[in-house]
Structure 1
């Protein structure tokens, strides 16, 4: 039936309800199943939140200038997790995205807001992470710790997928299959770095500490763990991290030898062992064989066999010392002998060739009896040395080959005024003489640090460590018990480091010059002098052993200062 179209009919049709569908409303089209070019806006795109790179790209400013002038030359690949609204960077391009956001905020230019991208279907979290690792690896853009953290994340993702723990070898195989080949040995070092270095050196690692330095630290940590376990059954890792954290000052300040020296020094204090004994233990733990490094020729072996080292005549003093020896010192001496044997065996010149005339007593003592000579020698011994005759003999052999002559205490006691002061870390047999082996700034600082360690141990002062600058030692969170003995050594050491320059006399127990010279060196405050009665200023006179070591320290420090002046290091700029 035909109806005439009228205005009323049209109005009636328009006012009728529309057709209703029972299907759900589609909010967005499904993502493509193949790689597909598309245009997205900045508000649709996010950076990959697990990007292993944590430091700023050093070429960031250059890239920004290039993109501002030319636009994007390479479209960043993007992807999207199932069910999520925003796209994310797929395999590299997070720096470019950050630059685009900056440029759009600065210019409001639409060419930075709408960008052409290549969409890639989502595969897995592991695939996304390994894509960023591989992309950064191609450009050499990751630090060692960033790579290590990425590998640790990959390990966690793989183990979550497989519900089992992966060995290093299996992890290496899985990474290789996914396009990121790494040896299982390197993976082990990466994970060890995260466990035992990153907690102590986070800033230094992120700033670019290199793989060789990290591997040296790992080797040192493993060797020191063996040494620690020999004397203590507690966890070494806590001690390791505590000491290592003091060196988180950036790659430019990293000094492996300083770290090693401080580790041994702190271990010696914690374990109650001798520094040199621990150093020898460390050499053994690290499987370092001095004899292999200095192989002897058959001719050298025959020379040594034909001319064995000649024994030094024992004295009553040394015999008495051996009768009252400390088992720990004996053990250290035996290890020191083993080490010196290795050094001495590599020298072709036997000790029998040492000038025997130099070893004869001077003529002015020829008329003395043996007992009188021994009395003179005994009178110069402040405290006996823990060094055995064999160690002394080998040291003489080393010095002879180097064109040097070590002072002989027993002979010099009859013609000079030498002293002997033994100790935990340093033995002094001559205050003034400086052997050629230690006559360099680095060795002088090392010897000074050993003397300072003995003085600090005597006064129960903690927090002192060796340095490779200044006088060879410094303080970190200095602790002392405020006893007269502790105050005395504390004032001495801080004065050497010029830490008392800003202190007034009211802040010190006595005028600094009087405290250092009159009391600490002489002890004149302990007696009445003129109209000045004895007075307790809270400081002691140094015992003879420590006084000898202080004199030796002063001698070495003066020599070190001379070197610094020659090199121009001791002058203010």
Structure 2
């Protein structure tokens, strides 16, 4: 067997210099993305932000994040991905703010740790998956504005519909978003899409300034209520959108996060009045009632008559002015033939048939709230009272009014006579001066206004009760067969309270008008008063723990334990204990000694005493609770 000869050195060099086979493919300049999730190192020039980021405004914590990265570096590696066909990585599940901070810090310092850093790579799934990831990450941190979340949700819906090739319902959208890690309930999605469709074109500056969900909820309620009225009046629905936009665009201002609701309501009522031709009062009544019923989650269909009766009558008048004229009062003696008032009065009598089985319009639950401006446009007391047509009956009524006015004036004792008594020594034989038998000198306008101002918190002009609401309240009282309580008449002899507070004014501490004697109505009022007192005590404030919960059973409210933060306040403990004592509950951990009432009423201390407007409401609430207990006791005896 021969041995194999080794190649010589020259032969080896020749083989080494021989060229290899030619390359059959293009050379690879860069390495492709990984096929599975893993950590990678990237540089700023290889990473781009997400171009469809739902955040459109500057992160409010931007400077805080920048200071943290400057001091300790990037503590949390951002998640990145890569679109098919793209040569750069892209932020996947949040991190656009951090990427912008890194760019700024590298430009400012040139530090290499801001240019090259570690990331977590995740393979590309779909456009909707990336968008949902950004929405979910920002939703978790809670730093997106309402309009940013709404626009992001709208964009997610469009993306999912493009991928599915069909339109998605809100229920399907909620299901698909949850599968992608972005959990939202259907009602939340509905409000977001509603915002983008109806409010974003009209109020862009306010929404970008941070107008939140609470304001949007209220705006949705107003728009839907106005649309119902628009449809009820049979106005062309295609005109509603432009009219809404023109009315509400006036309120769009940069930096505004809350709308001036009293002015907004007035403008919307004007819009409806112009479009329908109806009188303002029935429109106002319908709007207030719809808003209140929806707030209480009452069915509008079941209370159709309560909501629409005044407006329907008014629209009949608009379509046929002779059917329901605006003059609802009888002519004065000697004026039967002057103008149209006499004819219209008779027209009302003859053109409106009386139904003996019909019931008067029940009081709306919304009546009694400070922001309610309701009135019955069909203000006809004829349904309950006989017509007065003869001159003799009218003269008799006038004489009765004059006698009542004289009796009222005689009750006002002259101050000078009282001062004279105080200046003398009074014993058993002293004869006290009596008030004059006839009517006293009537107050002039200046003196009357001065007295009203003294009895009105914030001035008599700032009463908290609109003219339309006053007329409605008086109409309801007369429907029950009693005279209404009038502030101006009672102010000089009673202890009423009138102020522009979150709840309606107290017209009389003791008297309860017939329209408000229903148990549910009294519970509603008691709940309002309890919440007002609680807010003065520093509890039940917006976006805080609600310790006082209004109820439609029992005595009108129940109590929850104070939060740890609320319990640090002595005032909060005292107010909670006061409200608890009124319904027969106490908390031994809070003040329970008998001086509690003296502390709050200001008879035992000068600290944290109830202000006048709260004190009067406390008295009124106690009166209502006593009346409610008496009524419930009568029902129990009857049963």
Query: Aligned residue for 2:94?
Result: 92
Superposed counterparts of 1:77-476, under 5 Å: 77-229=79-231, 230-233=233-236, 234-249=238-253, 250-252=255-257, 254-286=259-291, 288=293, 315-316=332-333, 321=341, 323-324=343-344, 338=361, 359-360=402-403, 394=476, 400-401=484-485, 403-405=487-489
State the shift of 1:94 in Å: 0.5
Task: Report the CA distance between 1:29 and its aligned residue.
Answer: 2.4
Give the conservation status (yes or no) of the 8 Å contact 1:341–1:394: no
Decide whether the 8 Å contact of 2:330 with 2:342 is kept in 1.
no
Query: For residues 361 and 174 of structure 2, what CA distance do their matches in structure 1 show?
Result: 42
CA 1:207–1:44: 2 relative to 1, 3 Å? same
CA contact (8 A) 1:340 1:395 kept: no
The answer to whether the 8 A contact 1:44-1:86 is kept is yes
Aligned equivalent of 2:39: 37
What does residue range 517-532 of structure 1 map to in structure 2 within 5 Å? none
Aligned partners of 1:227 and 1:285 also within 8 Å: no
Change (3 A) 1:64 1:399: farther
Distance in 2 (CA, whole Å) between partners of 1:34 and 1:343 is 61
In structure 1, stretches of 5+ residues that fail to align are 294-310, 332-336, 364-385, 408-435, 444-573
| Cα separation, partners in 2 of 1:390 and 1:101, compared to 1, 3 Å | closer
How far apart, CA to CA, are the structure 2 residues paired with 1:344 and 1:44? 65
- Cα 1:398–1:74 change in 2 (3 A) is farther
Q: Distance in 1 between matches of 2:126 and 2:109?
A: 36
Distance 1:290 1:98 in 2: 44
Closer/same/farther in 2, CA of residues 406 and 259 from structure 1, 3 Å limit: same
**Equivalence map 1:475-490=2 (5 Å):** none
Question: 1:398 deviation in Å?
Answer: 9.2
| Equivalence for 1:379 | none
Distance 1:225 1:5 in 2: 99
Partner of 1:74, secondary structure, is coil
Contact 1:52 1:132 in 2 (8 A): yes
SS of residue matched to 1:360: helix
Q: What is the alpha-carbon distance in structure 2 between the residues aligned to residue 115 and residue 341 of structure 1?
A: 66
CA drift of 1:285 comes to 4.5
- Preserved contact between residue 38 and residue 119 of structure 1 (Cα < 8 Å): yes
Instruction: Give a deviation string over 1:34-63, Cα, whole Å, max 9, x none.
Output: 221111111110111111111111111111
Structure 2 unmatched runs, 5+: 299-327, 353-359, 370-383, 386-398, 407-467, 504-639
Q: What is the CA deviation profile of residues 96-129 of structure 1, one whole-angstrom value per residue up to 9, with x for unaligned ones? A: 0000111111111111111111111111111101
Shift of 1:279: 1.3
Specify whether residues 92 and 390 from structure 1 end up closer, same or farther in structure 2 by C-alpha distance, changes over 3 A only. Answer: closer
**Are the aligned partners of 1:290 and 1:343 in contact in 2 as well (CA < 8 Å)?**
no
Aligned length: 358
Distance in 2 (alpha carbons) for counterparts of 1:342 and 1:61: 50
Indicate the structure whose relative CO is greater, using CA pairs within 8 Å and at least 6 residues apart. Answer: 1
Alignment match, 1:487: none
Q: Is the 8 A contact 1:201 1:245 kept in 2?
A: yes
Secondary structure in structure 2 of the residue aligned to 1:235: helix
The Cα shift of 1:280 comes to 2.2
Q: What SS class does the counterpart of residue 401 from structure 1 fall into? A: coil
Q: Give the direction of change, closer, same or farther, for the CA distance of 1:95–1:359 in structure 2 (3 Å limit).
A: farther
Distance in 2 (CA, whole Å) between partners of 1:214 and 1:313 is 47
Shift of 1:360: 3.2
TM-score (norm 1): 0.54
CA contact (8 A) 1:344 1:394 kept: no
**Which string of whole-angstrom CA distances, capped at 9 and with x for unpartnered residues, describes residues 507-535 of structure 1?**
xxxxxxxxxxxxxxxxxxxxxxxxxxxxx
User: Alpha carbons of 1:214 and 1:81: their partners in 2 closer, same or farther (altered >3 Å)?
Assistant: same
How many Å separate the matches in 2 of 1:324 and 1:437?
Answer: 39
Taking the aligned partners of 2:82 and 2:25, their CA distance within structure 1 comes to 26
Deviation at 1:24, TM superposition (A): 3.0
The answer to whether the 8 Å contact 2:289/2:366 transfers is no
SS in 1 for 2:40: strand
